[in-house]
């Protein structure tokens, strides 16, 4: 799901969460900055989605989330300064290997690639590394799509296990550390998005285990 696809719905009101692929929505949020992406993130429809998602996930608005970016330049500069530029590394890299010490970075990347291989996916190194947040979310979106389109109970069960294993071994392992590093910086938008993503991923894990899909 691209920001362009979401923007094309503007003026029709906030779509119900059940109609959206939220893994891909979050992937679009943390993709490379562009004027189009900024317009989508700043739009009324997207703000409505965030409010609706916070209510569904019971993530209150009392946290000290900073306000909006005043313009595209500030948004782009914040994204680069937080996630991509810095010595020896950015303050909050969107890479699992930067936030966990359970294995060396090469092993973490290889583990991710092995998960992707199950679905025949090959991440493009020219876009994002294999352990980047956007790559991981796109993989989860693909696993979810296949699970929901399969009719064979055994295939569905295998895809559920694939999704829960990846959440438990990867995404939910490193997101808390990234949120902890981002919290004192309290940038507009990004801290709230990361917090909502963590809550959503936890809910997805609980729902799959309970065999109760998110609605």
How many helices and strands in the chain, by DSSP H and E? 10, 0
Q: Report the pLDDT value the prediction gives residue 102, as an integer from 0 to 100.
A: 85
User: Per-block average pLDDT, block size 10, for the chain (215 residues)?
Assistant: 35 62 95 96 92 83 71 97 90 95 91 94 80 96 91 89 95 96 94 95 90 50
Neighbours of 207 (CB within 10 A): 13
Can you tell me the distance from the alpha carbon of 11 to that of 188, in angstroms, rounded to the nearest whole number?
Answer: 24
Predicted local confidence at residue 2, as pLDDT? 37
pLDDT at position 180: 95
Contact 65, 192 (CB under 8 A): yes
Measured between alpha carbons, how far apart are the two ends of the chain, in Å?
Answer: 18
Q: Which CATH superfamily is domain 3-209 in?
A: TorD-like (1.10.3480.10)
């Amino acid at each position: 799901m691209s920001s362009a696809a979401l923007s094309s719905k503007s003026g029709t009101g906030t779509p119900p969460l059940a109609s959206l692929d939220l893994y891909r929505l979050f992937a679009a949020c943390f993709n490379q900055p562009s004027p189009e992406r900024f317009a989508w993130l700043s739009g009324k429809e997207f703000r409505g989605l965030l409010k609706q998602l916070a209510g569904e996930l019971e993530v209150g608005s009392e946290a000290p989330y900073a306000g909006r970016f005043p313009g595209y330049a500030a948004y782009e500069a914040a994204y680069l300064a937080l996630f991509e530029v810095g010595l020896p590394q950015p303050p909050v890299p969107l890479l699992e290997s930067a936030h966990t010490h359970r294995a060396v970075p090469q092993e973490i990347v290889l583990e991710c690639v092995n998960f992707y291989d199950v679905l025949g996916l090959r991440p493009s190194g020219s876009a994002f590394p294999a352990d980047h947040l956007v790559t991981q979310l796109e993989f989860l979106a693909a696993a979810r799509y296949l699970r929901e389109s399969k009719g064979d109970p055994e295939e569905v069960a295998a895809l559920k296990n694939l999704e829960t294993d990846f959440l438990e071994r990867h995404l939910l392992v490193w997101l808390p550390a990234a949120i902890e590093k981002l919290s004192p910086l309290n940038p507009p938008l990004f801290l709230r998005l990361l917090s909502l993503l963590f809550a959503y991923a936890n809910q997805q894990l609980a729902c799959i285990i309970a065999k109760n899909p998110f609605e």
